[in-house]
Amino acid sequence: MPGGFFRGSRHVGPQTDADRKRLLESEVFSSCCSREGARLGGVIVAGVDSREWQRRGYPDPDPRDQLCVAWDRQGIVGVGRKIFPVPGDEARYTVYTADFSSASRLPSIRGRVRGLLCSCYDMFGTDEAAEAMGTRSRAIAWLSEGRKELWEKGEDGAEVRSRVRRALPGWRDLVQQATVGLVAIHSFTAKGEGSGKGYWQRHGIEKASRVIGGRVAFGAAHFKPRLPAADRVILAAAKGRGLAASDYFYLDGHRDPDALVRLFETASR
């Protein structure tokens, strides 16, 4: 399901993986997702945005967390917190170095299938590497290793670059180990800013399906004001090419369909 599909009541950024899981499992939507996972015999993956957090000693609050979370019948099996912010749009978004290599963002979702949980622009960063830091890595403006340590690119540029470079090999390992890339995207509009569905497909989803170990990637997003055609190749790719759905259905809304659910079939690695 899309980014921001659920809203968490607490900021979890500076917490450990275990504490993030504990706090998120206390949310009402978390138990709902676990029940649906049990009913379907599968894993529910959805985007979660949280509240802002006032960091001690700073006048402006840390922006909300942006997370991609996975649930099965037992509860939360994986959490991926955004590590690649949108250039210019999230100048205050704090990235945590531990999230580059966290095993929590690479859960086993069925047998040997391991899903790389990406929050929005993380999927554009699947090819980032320490040897040649790209646009996504350079866009990181605020970097932290917990509640106290915080580096800002404007004042601590060399320190930020150095720590990101040291963290990227862990990210590359996760990307290579993944069987499938899963991304919760926030929104697309019909026209104007935020309308880049084709750009996302080519440079986000298709690119990721070339570098992720299992060579497949899928995304879900909010579409405003209307959903795309069911047979259009969008937010699904295998081995660098768009992947068409083998089946689909719409969930009816008051005037237009509220959701489009599609089935994709692909051979596992």
120-158 per-position pLDDT tens digit: 999 999 999 999 899 999 999 999 987 778 999 989 999
52-62 per-position pLDDT tens digit: 999 988 899 99
177-199 per-position pLDDT tens digit: 999 999 999 999 888 777 889 99
Task: Decide if 115 contacts 178 (C-beta within 8 A).
Answer: yes
Q: So where are the chain's domains?
A: 6-53+64-83+99-126+177-263
CA dihedral 203, 208, 210, 211 (to 10 degrees): 130
Topology of domain 6-53+64-83+99-126+177-263, CATH: Nitrilase/N-carbamoyl-D-aminoacid amidohydrolase (3.60.110)
Lowest mean pLDDT among 58-72, 80-94, 197-211: 80-94
Greater pLDDT, 29 or 230? 29
Task: Decide if 180 contacts 116 (C-beta within 8 A).
Answer: yes
Q: How many residues are present in the chain?
A: 269
Report in angstroms the alpha-carbon separations of 47 from 82, 140, 155, 216.
10, 21, 32, 19
